[in-house]
Chain A
């Protein structure tokens, strides 16, 4: 059973109480935390599953400025080619590109770190600007790090007309997020992380391309489509606990559990297990398993009984009841363990994830069958992350 909302309210209250304490601690300006290391990453990513291919690069450069400031810049591209089950059911395959750029500045003051970031995401039918601020503080002899963050994102949602090549703006949405993150040293070999996020949306939250279907005896297929209608607000809470334990043969095991609930009626749970093994100083191997399940949104149905059956209507498979299983494998090779010129270290990395999605109340319309009796939908996806990293 997924828990009700009460634990979230208690945690949110604890977060509010910690804020003045954190600000007090920050003002004392005690001894040192550390800034992130100077590094550069060049990543190629590829996703292939359910008729959707997404690939592109991601480049990150991070450099410290003096002893108390570190800045980073990230450039990221998604090249999308989609013939998903939704597209095949009532639309045409398409391609598009999303570009994301972000700037991040960390400022170190004693045992505190302030982080400011700005992210712009741009695609032909969706533009997003996100600003975020995080304050973190080391406590209790640096055994504990507490961070509080706030972010606000303004989004403009459009709908492309692929025949005319034009885009019509259909709405705007504002998303605000509050985060509490606690990292705790438990022993010489174990670390505990706790993260709690509250995210609140307001505005146009529909996917403008998605439709719901309803029974229609006048249609040859037995059903017809109408546009989805989502509520204009959504608030979600997610809390996660993660544990890492160091093993004597220079390996690590990790475990994580996340609970999620929102005002749309979705309840979700995530379990994570991981194992990291080093070999001969230059190699690191990783394996991870992630299990995710969720209940459907209150206003989701695969097939509504008639047109305008209720005030809110959705048939997004992301809002349906389903289970997802993810097995990931990775290898890292230190090709510059002893440095070279101004470079201190360099790694080549390859990660591959296999993900299975198994839907319990979302049917595969293109597979055919009587309305509401088509086979349930499921698909497998593969995800590649190949990247080079250098530290300097």
Chain B
């Protein structure tokens, strides 16, 4: 456990000096709204609620809601 923690911490600190392989000026496509995992939070939250209210599984969805509304 401890060696793994040390390795992760070193990786973390090393990360501060990593040269990004995709430069900021090369990210125009990634910044396009169609590349967002959740472009419209209200609509995504609703469809996530539709699934969670009717499925045994829960969590790790694109967005999350609350309450029950599932009788």
Could you tell me which residues of chain A, from 171 to 203, have a CB within 8 Å of some CB in chain B? 177, 179, 183, 185, 187-189, 191, 193, 195-199
Interface membership of A333, Cβ < 8 A:
no
When C-beta atoms are compared, the residue in chain B nearest to A50 turns out to be B54
* Interface contact B9-A78, CB-CB below 8 Å: no
Interface membership of A370, Cβ < 8 A:
no
Chain B contacts for A21, CB-based, 8 A: 8-9, 12
Chain B contacts for A28, CB-based, 8 A: 16
Kindly identify which residue among B32, B35, B57, B69 contacts A123, using a CB–CB cutoff of 8 Å: B69
Chain B contacts for A239, CB-based, 8 A: 60
* Interface contact A389-B57, CB-CB below 8 Å: no
Chain B contacts for A189, CB-based, 8 A: 29-30
Interface membership of A246, Cβ < 8 A:
yes
When C-beta atoms are compared, the residue in chain B nearest to A126 turns out to be B68
Number of chain A residues close to chain B: CB under 8 A: 95
* Interface contact B47-A318, CB-CB below 8 Å: no
The 9 closest A-B pairs by CB, nearest first: A121-B67, A141-B20, A197-B59, A238-B59, A238-B60, A268-B57, A260-B57, A240-B60, A246-B29
Interface membership of A142, Cβ < 8 A:
yes
Kindly identify which residue among B42, B66, B68 contacts A58, using a CB–CB cutoff of 8 Å: B42
* Interface contact A183-B68, CB-CB below 8 Å: no
* Interface contact B43-A141, CB-CB below 8 Å: no
Chain A contacts for B41, CB-based, 8 A: 41, 60
A198 to B59 Cα, complex, angstroms = 8
* Interface contact A185-B66, CB-CB below 8 Å: no
Chain B contacts for A188, CB-based, 8 A: 22, 26-27, 29-30
| Given A100-B67, A244-B37: A143 in contact with B22 (beta carbons within 8 A) | yes
* Interface contact B34-A278, CB-CB below 8 Å: yes
When C-beta atoms are compared, the residue in chain B nearest to A160 turns out to be B71
* Interface contact A43-B46, CB-CB below 8 Å: yes
A-B contact count (CB 8 A): 189
A195 to B56 Cα, complex, angstroms = 18
- A281-313 interface mask toward B, CB cutoff 8 Å, 1 = contact, 0 = none? 000100000101010010000000000000000
Interface membership of A98, Cβ < 8 A:
yes
A43 to B49 Cα, complex, angstroms = 14
When C-beta atoms are compared, the residue in chain A nearest to B38 turns out to be A193
Chain B contacts for A324, CB-based, 8 A: 54-55
A41 to B35 Cα, complex, angstroms = 20
Please list 6 pairs of residues, one from A and one from B, whose beta carbons are closer than 8 Å in the complex, sorted by A's number: A41-B41, A128-B68, A144-B15, A191-B37, A237-B59, A239-B60
Could you tell me which residues of chain A, from 216 to 254, have a CB within 8 Å of some CB in chain B? 236-240, 242, 244, 246, 250-252
Could you tell me which residues of chain A, from 53 to 101, have a CB within 8 Å of some CB in chain B? 54, 58, 60, 74, 76, 78, 80, 82, 96, 98, 100
Chain A contacts for B9, CB-based, 8 A: 20-21, 24
* Interface contact B32-A250, CB-CB below 8 Å: yes
Q: How far is the CB of B15 from chain A (nearest CB, A)?
A: 5
Kindly identify which residue among A24, A244, A318 contacts B12, using a CB–CB cutoff of 8 Å: A24
Chain A contacts for B68, CB-based, 8 A: 98, 121, 123, 126, 128, 155
Interface membership of A351, Cβ < 8 A:
yes
Kindly identify which residue among A191, A349, A351, A385 contacts B35, using a CB–CB cutoff of 8 Å: A191
Q: How far is the CB of B28 from chain A (nearest CB, A)?
A: 8
* Interface contact B56-A319, CB-CB below 8 Å: yes
A148 to B61 Cα, complex, angstroms = 15
* Interface contact B20-A41, CB-CB below 8 Å: no
| Given A153-B66, A187-B22, A258-B60: A292 in contact with B55 (beta carbons within 8 A) | yes
Chain B contacts for A266, CB-based, 8 A: 56-57
A221 to B1 Cα, complex, angstroms = 60
A179 to B62 Cα, complex, angstroms = 12
Kindly identify which residue among B8, B42, B67 contacts A74, using a CB–CB cutoff of 8 Å: B42
